[in-house]
Amino acid sequence: MSKPITQPPDFDEEFTKAVAEWRDKHRLREDDAVTLLVELFRIHQKHWDELRRREIPAFSEFRADIGKLADAARTFQVQASSLLEALRDQPVGNRSVRITRTAAIFAALACLLGGYLIGRAWR
């Protein structure tokens, strides 16, 4: 199922050939400043390419991580559905008692009265 790992193409030969043609076209010497800048750029580019290769995970690692994430999602879905089934199977008598609106209003009024009286006592 996995494809064989292939090496990326090496563009150094093509780049060197293009630089040589460019140098011949513009009649530049080997030690010309522009040619030295091109060499400096190549060093810089190789350095940053190597850094990127180290930082970016391989595709196989990425695929494995995605597989683990998919397995975790499936497990979560199975456990959530079993929990929902268990909650649906609970008898109605075991559910929490609902508080009526009237009881909630009386409790809120009692709290307000208690807070008012405590506030008056602290003065």
Could you tell me the pLDDT band of residue 51, with boundaries at 50, 70 and 90?
confident
Asked if the structure places residue 91 within a domain, the reply is no
Residue 29 lies in a domain: yes
Q: How many angstroms from the chain centroid is the CA of residue 123?
A: 57
Query: Is residue 89 situated within a structural domain?
Result: no
Q: How many domains are there within the chain?
A: 1
Helix (H) or strand (E) holding 115: helix 101-122
Distance CA 58, CA 96 (A): 53
Q: Look at residue 100 and tell me if it is in a domain.
A: no
> What does the chain come to in residues?
123
pLDDT of residue 93: 64
Residue 23 burial (CB count, 10 A): 16
The mean predicted confidence, pLDDT, of the chain is 82
- What predicted TM-score, i.e. pTM, was given to this entire model? 0.35
DSSP 18-63: HHHHHHHHHT--TT-HHHHHHHHHHHHHHHHHHHHHHHSPPHHHHH
Q: Is the pLDDT of residue 3 over 60?
A: no
- The reply to whether 121 falls in a domain is no
Reported as a pLDDT band with limits 50, 70 and 90, residue 62 is confident
Q: Which residue has the tokens 């609970």?
A: 90
Residue 68: pLDDT above 60?
Answer: yes
Determine, yes or no, domain membership for 19.
Answer: yes
Query: What is the mean pLDDT of the segment spanning 82-97?
Result: 77
What is the span of the domain harbouring residue 15? Answer: 11-56
Position 69 pLDDT exceeds 80: yes
| 90 pLDDT more than 90 | no
Question: How confident is the model at residue 10, as a pLDDT?
Answer: 65
Tell me, yes or no, whether 27 lies in a domain.
yes
Token couple for 88? 């649906």
Answer whether residue 38 is part of any domain.
Answer: yes
